[in-house]
Amino acid sequence: MPVKHPNRIPLARLPTPLVRLQRLERELGGGPLQIWLKRDDLTGVEFSGNKVRKLEYIAADALAAGCDTLITEGTPQSNHCRATAAVCARLGLRSHLLFRPPPPEDPPQGNHLLDVLFGARTSAFARERFTAEHDEIVRDAARSTNADGGRARYTPAGASEPLGCWGYIRAAAELAEQLAAAHVDEADVVLAVSSGGTYAGLLLGALVHRLDHLKVWAVPVSDDVGYHRRNVSRLCREAIEQFGLPAEFDESRLQFIDGYVGPGYGVPYPEAIAALRLLARVEGMVLDPVYTAKAFCAVLDGVRGGRFGCERPVVFIHTGGIFSNFAWPETLLQ
Ligand SMILES: *Cc1c(COP(=O)(O)O)cnc(C)c1O
């Protein structure tokens, strides 16, 4: 039975390039090594990264429901909040971003600066209060949209709800096609995981499109593996049920590479910064300090330890995030 895709608004520039990092391969010793980068940092809509693939579906759903506002949440440097603000500006929708914790003193930097340019409305909350009163805070935000004569759709952090997973169900097929064209018969695919929708989408995409030759590994950059195991499983199960996907999910599909969160979410550490600087210097490509630098660290360690890239190619999904670099310049230059 063919899978019925939900409606989407095409916003991303697809397919994103799949490139081989030959200079990095040489830098790491060459030989039979194959390292590929799937450039989802280049999806467009002002460098929205992985989030725009999810928001294509969320925005379509909001418009179909007659909504004029998207409400979402994240830190002030959230790539997802910024991507939501950009997508809303593109589509003539309003965005209301719920920040936790509040941004540091003015002026806004990095992603937050862009939120302001895109005309987003922002509200800020202490982290403890936001956690304790989450549902009321979201309801109040929706109510205030209604009071202004509007209608709001809420999407959770990272747009990681079952509908958002479609972005990467679709991306899995795109990647498989590109790998086939590049004569890559099997590969390890590695990505950062935080709110989980990207990983859940790729896993579901691999199941739905029967891509058994791709083994997908997730590198947590926040929380612990137990949390991610529960969260990604939940997303996969909910999406299968909600959309009647022809997929059998079991937890043995989940493969995490632990040990790369460092001191905490959004807090960089020297090895991650070194990974970011290495790719910038050798390939002219820029990772971000919160997600992709940490996850790419796992790829580099895997390559150096012979786990990735030698027996079969390794593909890293570059999920974006460039603007965070400009929020913490001191860190990158340490
Ligand atoms: C949000 C984000 C991720 C993580 O994706 P999730 O779907 O939240 O797990 C990875 N990289 C970047 C740059 C992001 O902004």
Per-residue pLDDT of the chain (334 residues), as tens digits, is: 567 899 999 999 999 999 999 999 999 997 899 999 999 999 999 889 999 999 999 999 999 999 999 999 999 999 999 999 999 999 999 999 999 999 987 899 999 999 999 999 999 999 999 999 999 999 999 999 999 899 999 999 999 999 999 999 999 999 999 999 999 999 999 999 999 999 999 999 999 999 999 999 999 999 999 999 999 999 999 999 999 999 999 999 999 999 999 999 999 999 999 999 999 999 999 999 999 999 999 999 999 999 999 999 999 999 999 999 988 888 888 7
Report pLDDT for 1.
Answer: 55
Name the active-site residue from 78, 95, 160, 233. 78
178 lines ligand 1 (CB under 6 A): no
Which phi and psi angles does 157 have, rounded to 5°? Answer: -50, 135
Tell me if residue 95 is catalytic.
no
Pocket test for ligand 1, best of 72, 79, 160, 325 (most atoms within 8 A of CB): 79
Q: Ligand 1: does its nearest atom lie under 6 Å from the Cβ of 302?
A: no
The answer to whether the CB of 34 is under 6 A from ligand 1 is no
Q: Quote the pLDDT of residue 329.
A: 85
Distance CA 37, CA 21 (A): 7
Ligand 1 atom with minimal separation from the 193 CA: 9
Minimal-distance CA residue to ligand 1 atom 1: 158
The number of the ligand 1 atom at minimal distance from the alpha carbon of 160 is 7
Q: Are strands 314-317 and 35-38 parallel, antiparallel or unpaired?
A: parallel
Cβ–ligand 1 contact at 36 (below 6 Å): no
pLDDT of residue 334: 77
In ligand 1, the atom with minimum distance to the C-alpha of 292 is: 11
Same CATH topology for 18-48+162-332 and 51-159: the answer is yes
Token digits of residue 302: 């895997």
Q: For the whole model, what pTM was predicted?
A: 0.97
Token pair 């169900």 is found at: 169
Look-up: residue for tokens 């996969």?
236
Q: Do 260 and 190 touch, CB atoms closer than 8 A? A: no
| d(C-alpha 231, C-alpha 253), whole Å | 14
Distance 92 CA to ligand 1 centre (A): 25
In the CATH scheme, what architecture does the domain 51-159 have?
3-Layer(aba) Sandwich (3.40)
Q: For ligand 1, is residue 205 a contact (CB within 6 Å)?
A: no
Decide: 79 in ligand 1 pocket, CB within 6 A: yes
Q: Ligand 1 test: best mutation among 37, 40, 48, 50, most atoms within 8 Å of CB?
A: 50
Partners of residue 252 on adjacent β-strands = none
* Ligand 1 pocket residue status of 320, Cβ below 6 Å: yes
Nearest CA to ligand 1 atom 12: 319
Atom 15, ligand 1: residue with shortest CA distance: 79
Kindly report the CATH number that applies to the domain delimited by 18-48+162-332: 3.40.50.1100
Sequence spans of domains, the chain: 18-48+162-332, 51-159
d(CA 70, CA 217): 31
Distance 49 CA to ligand 1 centre (A): 8
